[in-house]
Amino acid sequence: MQKPETKSPPGPKNGISLTEAQEMQNDTLGFVMKAAAQYGDIMRYRIGFWDVYFLNHPDYIQHVLLDNWKNYGRQTFQFKKFALVTGDGLLNTHGERWQKHRRLMQPSFHQKKLGGMAEAMWSAVGRLGDRWDRLLVENGGTAEIEVDSHMLRLALEIVGQALFSLDLTAEADHLSQEMLEMMTYIVYRSQNLLALPAIVPTPRNNRFRRTLNKLNRRIQEMIAARRQAGEAVHDDLLDLLVFSQDATGQGLSDVEIRDEVMTLMIAGYETVASGMSWLWSLLAEHEDVQARLVAELREALGNGRPTYRQMSQLPILNGVIQEGFRLYPPSWLITRRSLAPDQIGGYDIPAGSLVVLCPYAIHRHPDFWPDGERFDIGRFLDGAEKAQHKYAYIPFGGGPHLCIGKPFAQLEAALTLGTLLPRFKLTHARPKPAVDPQVTIRPSDGLWMNLTRRD
Ligand code: HEM
């Protein structure tokens, strides 16, 4: 019998060359953009023993994330490394367990709950504003600060308080350090395919295990305290995880709860912080947009406290956040593994293939985002975004695995800018940092800015 003809997407014939491998390591995003320009919207790279399919067209992205999403699981290198820290949480799972846990947690991120969460966000942002005020008094009215670390601390305090009723004010600095250490370890393991397994007692692995054990103990204490209380009194996500039962009366185990708590801390922390850092940087670069935003905020809010409802009704604020997340999508890489053979754009995708989507690249696709490097909030004003292909803009992914924290993150960004921007001005103190694609896209060597009071 004649073998059916297979059609493979364009890409280098003989696999990735040594030069290309080095380029990919040194400037991953540059490499991806160059490859997309050379090979088009779908390409195949052979890296070592693996075929990697890179998709850079919204139709193809929609196919993987929505139309045929069940066929694209998360058994990828990226997620396996995450699992070292998060276990089998929502971010790493795909099948029945994922569905059960997603259904359980979804109501906690419902619009109705966000009003209450806004309180926690507002208090944490208020404390940051007070710290900035004190810094300015101590430094004679101007201070050079590393904005990214301030945003990381803020995001951690907010996740702790809003989801788990945890006041992390006193420990946020060292906890943030420990979380970052774990993220750095995940990146190290992802980039070093020959690194010894985590159980081998190398100094790096030992340090990782120590930090992970410490954080695990902290989460275990939280779970134990809730179980001891015997009933849900906080009305937060942790109560939901600890006291929920399925139809058979079965609740989640401590390990399952730990995995979800760790997942939410990890997924909801560095992402928001890096998104916020780039927003500050963009506003500093675009004084005209900043002035329009300050005017909008002052007119709408006066000196009052911004509310949850007001936040969604401010077009410039919304435009700045959406356009900022387009240019600097914190989660710059989404990976999947095909479970059964499939076809995309007329090309064959064999079972077991690694499929890679890059929000950073699709957000600059010239057919969908003309002059893509330009910061232009008009792309998101007066409903302009409605004309856009939905899967040309994927800072929060899409389909059933769409980021569960999307409304939470958007509100957090809005409240942070809405509260701090009318009071403080940040300008670049050093040249604008390059983009460093770690777990999220971070400012390399930090984001150093001069802080002053606006008035
Ligand atoms: C600007 C901030 C954020 C960005 C850019 C972001 C981005 C993303 C993306 C792209 C995905 C999809 C991953 C995939 O399909 O493989 C995702 C999933 C997820 N995100 Fe976020 N996220 C942000 C904030 C948050 C927050 C605040 C939380 C929780 C408090 C959170 C929790 C999650 C979880 C649990 C998932 C897995 C969802 C599932 O598969 O069901 N994220 N996020």
Model pLDDT for residues 414-433, shown as the tens digit of each residue: 999 999 999 999 999 999 99
- The candidate with the shortest Cα–Cα distance to 358, out of 377, 340, 339, 336, is 336
Distance 398 CA to ligand 1 centre (A): 10
Look at residue 2 and tell me whether its pLDDT is greater than 60. no
Shortest-distance Cα residue to atom 9 of ligand 1: 396
117 lines ligand 1 (CB under 6 A): no
Distance CA 119, CA 150 (A): 19
C-alpha 268 to ligand 1 mean position (Å): 7
Q: Which residue has the higher pLDDT, 34 or 302?
A: 34
Residue pointed to by tokens 């919204």: 58
| Domain assignment of residue 28, yes or no | no
pLDDT band at residue 4 using 50, 70 and 90 as cut-offs: low
Q: Based on the number of CB atoms within 10 Å of its own CB, is 7 exposed (0-12), middle (13-18) or buried (19 or more)?
A: exposed
Q: At what angle do helices 203-229 and 172-191 cross, to 10 degrees?
A: 130
- DSSP lists the bridge partners of residue 427 as 450
Q: What value does the mean pLDDT take over residues 103-109?
A: 93
Residues 6+ apart with CB under 8 A from 168: 156, 157, 160, 161, 175
Backbone angles phi, psi at 291, to 5 degrees: -65, -40
Start-end of H helices in 233-314 = 237-243, 254-267, 270-285, 287-301, 308-311
Task: Reply yes or no on whether the pLDDT at 1 is more than 70.
Answer: no
Query: Which atom of ligand 1 sits closest to the CA of residue 394?
Result: 10
Closest to 433 in 3D by CA, of 310, 280, 306: 280
By three-state DSSP, how is residue 436 classified? Answer: strand
pLDDT for position 190: 82
Distances (CA, A) of 106 to 12, 75, 247: 43, 23, 18
Q: Please work out whether the CB of residue 271 comes within 6 Å of at least one atom of ligand 1.
A: yes
Ligand 1 in reach of 443 Cβ (< 6 A): no
Q: Is 268 in the pocket of ligand 1 (CB under 6 A)?
A: yes
Task: Map residue 376 onto helix, strand or coil.
Answer: coil
Q: Using CA atoms, how far apart are residues 87 and 215, in angstroms rounded to an integer? A: 13
Hey, whose CA ends up nearest to atom 26 of ligand 1? 268
- Give yes or no for residue 91 CB within 6 A of ligand 1: yes
pLDDT given at position 247:
80
The runs of H, that is alpha helices, within 192-269 are: 203-229, 237-243, 254-267
Residue 154 located in a structural domain: yes
Model pLDDT for residues 161-214, shown as the tens digit of each residue = 999 999 988 888 888 889 989 989 988 888 887 788 888 899 999 999 999 999
**Is residue 42 a part of any domain in this protein?**
no
Q: Is residue 139 part of a domain?
A: yes
Residue 111 lies in a domain: yes
pLDDT score, position 451: 98
pTM reported for the whole predicted model: 0.95
Q: Which residues have a Cβ under 8 Å from the Cβ of 229 and sit 6 or more positions away?
A: none
Mean pLDDT to the nearest integer, 296-301:
92
* pLDDT tens-place string over residues 264-273: 999 999 999 9
Atom number of ligand 1 nearest to Cα 269: 27
The residue contributing the CA closest to ligand 1 atom 7 is 396
C-beta 267 within 6 A of ligand 1: yes
Ligand 1 pocket mutation, candidates 271, 438, 442, criterion most atoms within 8 A of CB: 271
With a 6 A CB cut-off, is 401 part of the ligand 1 pocket? yes
Contacts of 21 (CB under 8 A, 6+ apart): 47
In this structure, the residue with its CA closest to atom 12 of ligand 1 is 397
Give yes or no for a contact between 303 and 313, defined as CB atoms under 8 angstroms apart.
no
Residue 221 corresponds to which tokens in the numbers above?
A: 């204490």
Ligand 1 atom 3: the closest Cα is on which residue?
A: 271
Structure confidence by residue, pLDDT tens digits, 353-399 = 999 999 999 999 999 999 999 999 999 999 999 999 999 999 999 99
Determine if ligand 1 sits within 6 Å of the CB of residue 120.
no
Q: Judge whether 153 lies within some domain.
A: yes
Domain that holds residue 409: 83-333+374-453
Q: Which atom of ligand 1 is nearest to the CA of 155?
A: 27
Strand partners of residue 145: 449
Return the residue whose CA atom lies nearest to atom 40 of ligand 1: 401
Question: Which residues on adjacent β-strands are paired with residue 448?
Answer: 146
Count of the separate structural domains present in the chain: 1
CA pseudo-torsion sign 294, 300, 304, 305:
negative
Q: Is 396 in the pocket of ligand 1 (CB under 6 A)?
A: yes
Instruction: Report whether residue 441 contacts ligand 1, using a CB cutoff of 6 Å.
Output: no
What's the N-to-C CA distance of the chain in angstroms? 80
Q: Report pLDDT for 3.
A: 57
> Which residue is associated with the tokens 């906080």?
234
Which atom of ligand 1 is least distant from the CA of 409?
Answer: 27
- State the closest ligand 1 atom to the C-alpha of 94, by its place in the atom list counted from 1: 40
Which residue(s) pair with 342 in the sheet? Answer: 349
Token digits of residue 389: 């292909």
Mean pLDDT value across the chain: 93
Domain with residue 168: its CATH number is: 1.10.630.10
In angstroms, what is the span from residue 162 Cα to ligand 1's centroid?
16
| pLDDT recorded at residue 191 | 80
pLDDT in tens, 118-176: 999 999 999 999 999 999 999 999 999 999 999 999 999 999 999 999 998 888 888 88
Whether 264 lines ligand 1, by a CB cut-off of 6 Å, is: yes
Asked whether the beta carbons of 17 and 46 are under 8 A apart, the reply is no
The tokens describing 202, both together, are: 């190398």
Beta bridge partners of 435: 443
Q: Is residue 4 part of a domain?
A: no
Q: What is the pLDDT of residue 305?
A: 77
Which residue minimizes the CA distance to atom 11 of ligand 1?
403
Task: Tell me, yes or no, whether 187 lies in a domain.
Answer: yes
Q: What is the mean pLDDT of residues 75-81?
A: 90
CB 261 within 8 A of CB 219: yes
Kindly indicate the confidence band of residue 66, based on its pLDDT and cuts at 50, 70 and 90: very high
Q: Whose CA is nearest to atom 41 of ligand 1?
A: 401
**Angle 272-358-20 (CA atoms, 0-180°, nearest 5)?**
125
